[in-house]
Structure 1
Amino acid sequence: MNGTPASHHVIPARISPVRISSSAAELDAIRPLLSEAQAAIGDVPALLDLAKTVAATAPKPGEGRTAFLWEILASVAAVDVAAGRVLEPHLDAAAILAQAAGLAADEGRDCPDFAGIHFDGAWGVFAAEAPGLRLEAKETGGCFELRGAKPWCSLAAHLDHAVLTAHVGDSGRAAFAVDLHADGVSFSDPAWTSRGLREIPSGTVHFDGVQAVPLGGSGWYFQRPGFAWGGMGVAACWLGGGVAVARSFAASLQKAADGGREPDQIALAHLGEIDRTLTALTGYLARTAARIDAGELSDGGAWREALRVRGGVATAVERIQALVSQNLGPAPLAFDEAYGKRMADLALYIRQHHAMRDDAQLGTLLLAGNTPW
């Protein structure tokens, strides 16, 4: 180890909000939520109840307080990465439903289907695909029915509703709202063996003639700027996990120094690098949130920015994990439950980022337009 105490336990990350741009007074409003999240760690029903409570007052992206929304997500993930993983899709579903309703209003449609959607219960968002599995939506008598299977449906058996994507003939994929308690919905055993996010298994859900409410049209789900905004909200959760790792590292170094063991130059250099990284990240997210709220990222440029944000956060957080792990050595991974859980949860969660494939997509978009530099 490099200047850190030879202890089996890492000092816990302090329970405090993650600041992106809000004032101290605004962030104080998050503190009771963080205490509740800490008390609910590992308790999925309690975390889902907490998500429902948060959704009642949390801002939606693009409505003027996007940075504060990301601070909520980051702060909860800093308490427990899995708690952030539960909260994020529920808030994303609320935003998607609001955006779909707004689209219908802009088009002058009464949209009676929306009258049947009540944002109560716990919601998920399922948009992943997998080889050999396909979910199709077919229009029958003016209604849509879902048939097939949807993979990677996190906590599906614990949820009440979901926003999901399904193939609509040859027109691509469209989004739908569906009742997960409806007849014709069944859940495969996830066979979840992961050491990360152990309380959040992701399995396959099967649909056999299940009615669903269309949200937007074919392609709308992926083309709307809210898709990019939601992707950046996921990155805010990754950031929160990285902040928690960094806080516990700094606290361990301080405890060692207080005990007479000053950290060496390598440990200090790593702490300095982590500080530079997090300061740059939070500053970038603050500017990006302000641009979203100003209407500057409401077109095709939103996804380019999301790729930058997600790639920058994922790379930085993985670097922070590597630096802290090198300094603290194997002991906390082997003996400290909170530290080991955080590292495993974060490692799996970040794999929602597709690394170089996402960078290749960003490069393609840049060649098709103007580079900002």
Structure 2
Amino acid sequence: MELQNYLARRPPDYANIVALGGCLRAMVEAGLDRLPLPGSGHTLERFRHLADVGGHDLGLCKLYEGHTDALSIIEQLGGSPTPGSTWGMWAAEPPQARVQVRPAGHMVALHGRKAWCSGAAVLSHALLTAWDADDQQQLVAVALDQPGVSITDQGWQAVGMGATGSVEVVFEGAEGQAIGNPGDYLQRPGFWQGGIGIAACWYGAARQIAEALRQHCAQHEEPHALAHLGAVDAALQAAADVLRFSALHIDAHPQANAELLARRARAVVEQSAEQVLRDVGRALGAGPYCKDRHFARLLADLPVFLRQSHAERDLAALGHIVAAQPKEAWTL
């Protein structure tokens, strides 16, 4: 409730990464980033907070989700973040941008380029994936205000999610701290649990977009708009149910492999969000696209954020898992 009240007092209009960074720092100072850990017994509360921020502004949500994800990973792997710090979680691994690490005393030295580093210009720290001499993936925590860290203006031309400043960062001997052991990032239960948190962000934005249609239908008896609202309600209900079930399942089985759970949840929420985008647009026409700034920004940002899913490639991975399941997997 405290987070909802805070967001309600802020106009959802962040012109650039500086504005987003200022809001994230204020949220950290207010303690609004202290979410329950996945599997702690309060996972649904975590998802609700992510959804609330997603409905407020997806650019802010991108930074907030990355920050809170980094905090949970560090805690899960035995680390301790600096009080008041703001974090990016940078795990994209395109082939042309890989960071290497070499031992440097009790720390490691980073060399290379990291792509799609959301919030790089305004964050104090980042938790990122890098590669050691044995070609094993290693998580590294790094302070961004040090020599050897160059934040570029390259690699991000999107209109949607444009304010996030998801640029490329170059490391040339910067010092970092290894977090956990090689391979821990993908092997820990929290990896797939966190993937469902991303779906909660998508859901929050889709729910807010749908609210414009609900309000319209409350004032106008238009059969076609009401039919679109019915379709939107069914889609959002399916997404909400799967997120609630996922949270309960994670809390009941916090150490279990959540890949199947996460792939199903992300697929359902992605399809629901895409249906909301389609039906709300068809029902309301051009008006809110052109005259409602918050609505228009969500409509521009959500399709870009949804592309954290890999579409048919992710569905094929889900199908591969399901094909190996017994037929009871679909039993009520």
TM-score (norm 2): 0.91
Contact kept, 8 Å, 1:174 with 1:217, in 2: the verdict is yes
Greater relative contact order (CA < 8 Å, ≥ 6 in sequence)? 1
CA offsets per residue over residues 255-282 of structure 1, 9 Å max, x none?
Answer: 3x2xxxx212x22121111112212221
Which ranges of structure 1 fall in alignment gaps of 5 or more residues? 1-27, 102-113
Report the TM-score, using the length of structure 1 for normalisation: 0.82
The alignment's C-alpha RMSD in Å is 1.9
- How far apart in 1 are the matches of 2:62 and 2:89? 12
Q: Which residue does the alignment assign to 2:45? A: 68
Task: Work out the CA distance in 1 between the residues paired with 2:60 and 2:35.
Answer: 16
Q: Distance in 2 between matches of 1:51 and 1:323?
A: 34
- Residues 213 and 277 (structure 1), Cα distance of their counterparts in 2 relative to 1, 3 Å cut: same
Q: 1:225 to 1:126 in 2, by over 3 A?
A: same
SS of the residue aligned with 1:164? Answer: strand
Correspondence list, 1:12-31, <5 A:
28-31=1-4
2:8 alignment partner in structure 1 = 35
Alignment length (residue pairs): 325
Q: Partner residue of 2:58?
A: 81
**Partner of residue 277, structure 1:** 235
Alignment of 1:219-368 (within 5 A): 219-255=183-219, 257=220, 262-264=221-223, 266-294=224-252, 296-300=253-257, 302-368=258-324
Shift of 1:287: 1.5
Distance in structure 2 (CA, Å) of the matches to 1:91 and 1:36: 21
Equivalent position SS for 1:138: strand
Shift of 1:191: 6.0
Q: Distance in 2 between matches of 1:369 and 1:297?
A: 21
> What is the distance in 1 between the residues matched to 2:298 and 2:114?
28
Q: Determine the C-alpha separation between the residues in 1 that align with 2:129 and 2:278.
A: 35
CA distance in 1, matches of 2:2, 2:84: 23
Give distance in 1, aligned partners of 2:326 and 2:255: 17
| Counterpart selection for 1:128 from 64, 75, 92 | 92
- Within the candidate set 144, 156, 159, 2:120 is matched to 156
Map of 2:20 onto structure 1: 44
Structure 1 residue identity aligned to 2:146: A
The 1:221/1:55 distance shift into structure 2, 3 A limit, reads farther
Gaps of at least 5 residues in structure 2 are none
Rg larger in structure: 1
- 3-state SS in 1 of match to 2:11: helix
Q: Distance in 2 between matches of 1:50 and 1:197?
A: 21
User: Structure 1 stretch 156-165 or stretch 273-282: which is displaced more?
Assistant: 273-282
